[in-house]
Amino acid sequence: MSIFTKIITGEIPSYKVAENADFIAFLDINPNAKGHTLVVPKKEENKIFDLSKEAYASLMGFSYQVAKAIEKTLPCKRVGMSVIGLEVPHVHVHLIPLNAMADIQFMQKVTFSKEEFVDLAEAISKNF
């Protein structure tokens, strides 16, 4: 069972910004930038291209909606998207508010208090 499945089942807490029957979106707790959000299918699958075409299209559609909510919430030049999948064997899309190329490079990290995470998750959720 992946750490994301544990988040989905509520075993591990998260800062959820959006959810439907098939997907969940929550703030990355080790973010590249403020608003860095992970979009995860509820059905555990290791590789994105092992998803059915329909599940892949649905994941992208849900990610689109979350990205639009992030754009409404945080000032940024754009919301970037990355799918790497090596760190957790459960499909996930990184949505990262970008103001510079360094924001997407997974080398710099920013830190926030629990209250800042809660406030940010609520703000993005309201724009979803």
End-to-end CA distance of the chain: 28
Tokens of 75: 């000032």
Residues catalogued as catalytic = 92
- Strand, coil or helix: 66: helix
